Amino acid sequence: MPQEASRTLMQEHYAWIKEVIQQEDMWERVPDHAREFSPENLENLVKYAYFGGFIDSRRVSQLLFLKKGEFRQLLVRWYEEIREKGCWLC
């Protein structure tokens, strides 16, 4: 996530993605440690929503302030993390 992204804007994105997950009745699957805002938790919720099918790649890029081409790199990293640690959906 770029340094220039303001904390306030990241908090707004966190609140929005939290609402999306709650509307899907999947908030109970979110671990306690990810239920409070932090830049890392914003990414974790976006990853969860993406793999849950609640948002698309365009929305991921918007929420995480990605530039063109960065989504693909992020997706590779996410798949590696899921292979190593599993995911909240599993």
Task: State the pLDDT at residue 87.
Answer: 77
The mean pLDDT of 14-34, rounded to a whole number, is 96
pLDDT tens track for 35-81 = 999 999 999 999 999 999 999 999 999 999 999 999 999 999 999 99
pTM for this entry? 0.89
Residue 84 has pLDDT above 70, yes or no: yes
DSSP class of 28: G
- Report how far residue 49's alpha carbon sits from residue 24's, in angstroms, rounded to the nearest whole number: 9
* Residue 48, token pair as written in the block: 């969860």
Residue 85 has pLDDT above 90, yes or no: no
Task: State the pLDDT at residue 90.
Answer: 62
